[in-house]
Structure 1
């Protein structure tokens, strides 16, 4: 009997290796079958459907007296709960604590698990491990994100949440921990000088945003992090890591009542505080701004871009579709065809929009050989100019739209993915059924809609161009860019412009829903 049960348990791992991490970490030393509590949990794997649905999950917008937004998706396939607390406390809020304190949000995130008054760093890590829980804290440009994944068993989830709240409320931020971060930052700064893409990224943000809170790197600088003290970190927590500056996302094997009870417990356990004030709009300069970073390499690295739109701009879906056509869809994109397929200037050329609380960034980037630098920039810029002023290619538009629709299931292929989506929906104030609304928005877009969004928000005559290379003739490059420009006339679109495909049962979520990514330094 004992042997057969062990064989069954082993076969469970072989059949479902991806779920091996859900096994109870508290197994007794002896292999008495009556003590193997995880068998009942593993039996739940038998109920996983063979084919995952492509329908958007139903999102509960749970109400509470504290008016803290809480979104919940019930998922009974696995005995797991994913929890995310998203605070409006990213690096954009660094200077709300004190002038020049760039990196304080990132510092708080890094030091959060380094110990409290009751637990050492080792005890925190060991306790989460014994509960089979995964816990992380991360600062981004907009968001300060706390994530917890744990089994739905009350004997696991309740102590895991208690420990999460202990860490959030009572992290001590000791001077010794700060000194360790200082040392690591100095090492990171030396490594930074060997990474041209990160150097360009930092230069781009500083050039485009100037004095705006988005301008500085999330990790701060050597000078700024030296100003950070334990007292300032505690002030950051008391001011920004509060219930009224947070939204909650939960996905997993809970009832709506259980999810509501857990959310209220979390809200009540945090200081109430107040929501952060809206960010100011950044100032956008006109014309070309060419910046050169001296970099010794056989390759030259190029980025060009300008300020874009916020996450809540109504043109966001149209620009996502446009970006996929320009440089977001691999070999089918225009930049890849012009720079790699036709001319062999680069291995890959890409474009992207960042959608944030206030104006994000539109950019395109690639690397090339030093002796092909000037020609490649001219081709990349001319491709952008033509994309703006020439009529939309209807065939490419349809192919791109279809590809985005087909990619929909990846947006919630796991509980963790679903919960990340919920966190963004809550943070940016989107409707709870956004994942169901988005596909219809995408399907209804006409060529004229996309063309108008392109002409309104993409400006090839107002670009910051940053080049990391051995040398750069700025005057010649400026003239090349000006030569590419010609008066942009209104685009004439056929009255019988493409009609969206007939509605189907397929729903879709945005490919770039994670709008707030960790900037580099």
Structure 2
């Protein structure tokens, strides 16, 4: 077996997946009590696995920003007597793939493996997850890679804008800085800090598991016990909730560039709010529906002020925002901002029309099944559902929830969600007229 064959199997799994959202999910409980969501499919000898841990980079200890992100980047750098090259060679020989990701609220491991190599692949993954080497040579090398990225970010207007906006929104909360840390904070991290980040973030009390493909519930239960039994039982306490600190108006961060970047937004709505679906549809109409959105129509199509503008609902575990972004020439960004302000006020004051609501429902319900285009994407969706504490039948009821939103309901929610008087803009560049 080789990676070419694995790629072929992956492609076949995508082609074989039905483009519909009626996915049959089983909840599996292992002998040791670990739980997983499983979509069983034995048509191809292949499985996608996702293992996630709630908390993520928000669990960085004080003065240790970037520790969780660095720790996750080091998981594929060796285990036991294997160094990074040996580990990569073993992964390749098994025709499997591992990916380790960090976000503000979670860390996740994704794996793809062939059925005939599953036991060996799981053993290798267990070593990476529960007994990583964290060799100093690897630490120094990965730090160097992160330094390069962070230094590049200091010259990127988009990254500068995001950093300034997050700092204004979240202050000293972990959300207020990039989860990769800064050059200074990463430079100061020690091996002991990385070990602490591993204990804090990868523990049994916050794990979620999803699997899609050629595996039975009994096999998945045994797999979970093998993979997770040696992890700490409890991790660090979750971070505290943070209130949005954005002030209305425009904050300019001077930076020499021919085009200014603007991030904008204000406080938002929780993912478990009963009005979330109405807010979600409204967000699609205003700025999330691609070329069909109001912002694209007014800012790009009618006035040619930008190549793209968008807004969306950002629902973190400990804070919520309605947020968006636009970029425009320095001599036109002020006009783009005024148009966005006007559209924010128009939707807040006038709401949306029945035609817009119906069109958005058709778009959202029609596009949803296209997300289920293979074992990997489905496993990812199942993990996300568990992270957000959604019900196991969510996939099969989601479109019904979208279609149930009425015009009166959405226009009531819009008045509560869109707050023109609170709208904040962080602008990076040399904007004229601001």
TM, length-normalised to structure 2: 0.93
Cα deviations across residues 32-65 of structure 1 (Å, max 9, x unaligned)?
xxxxxxxxx99x96x9987824142111111245
Matches within 5 A, 1:437-448: 437-448=397-408
Matched, 1:352 2:352: no
Give the ranges of 4+ consecutive aligned residues of structure 1 lying more than 4 Å apart after TM superposition. 47-51, 471-474
Partner of 2:44: 78
State the 1:276 CA deviation. Answer: 4.8
Partner of 1:217: 178
Matched, 1:56 2:22: yes
Distance 1:287 1:121, change over 3 A: closer
Distance 2:365 2:292 in 1: 16
Partner of 1:178: 139
Distance 1:186 1:352 in 2: 30
State the 1:391 CA deviation. Answer: 2.9
Q: Of Structure 1 and Structure 2, which has the larger fraction of its residues in strand?
A: 2
**Count of aligned residue pairs for this structure pair:** 432
Distance 2:410 2:301 in 1: 25
Distance 1:66 1:457, change over 3 A: farther
CA contact (8 A) 1:89 1:105 kept: no
Partner of 1:280: 240
Task: Please give the secondary structure, in 2, of the residue aligned with 1:354.
Answer: strand
Distance 2:246 2:81 in 1: 55
Matched, 1:163 2:129: no
Please say which structure displays the higher CA radius of gyration.
Answer: 1
Matches within 5 A, 1:131-280: 131-153=94-116, 156-268=117-229, 270-274=230-234, 276-280=236-240
Matched, 1:22 2:9: no
> Taking CA–CA contacts closer than 8 Å with sequence separation of 6 or more, which of the two structures ends up with the larger relative contact order?
2
Shifted more, 392-401 versus 280-289: the winner is: 280-289
Unaligned runs of 5+ in 1: 1-18, 25-40, 475-521
Matches within 5 A, 1:89-488: 89-95=55-61, 99-153=62-116, 156-268=117-229, 270-274=230-234, 276-285=236-245, 287-471=247-431, 473-474=433-434
Cα deviations across residues 114-169 of structure 1 (Å, max 9, x unaligned)?
1223211111111111111001111111111011100122xx00010001011112
State the 1:261 CA deviation. Answer: 2.2
Unaligned runs of 5+ in 2: none
Distance 2:15 2:46 in 1: 16
Cα deviations across residues 64-107 of structure 1 (Å, max 9, x unaligned)?
45443311111223211111110124111112xxx111111110
Distance 1:21 1:203 in 2: 46
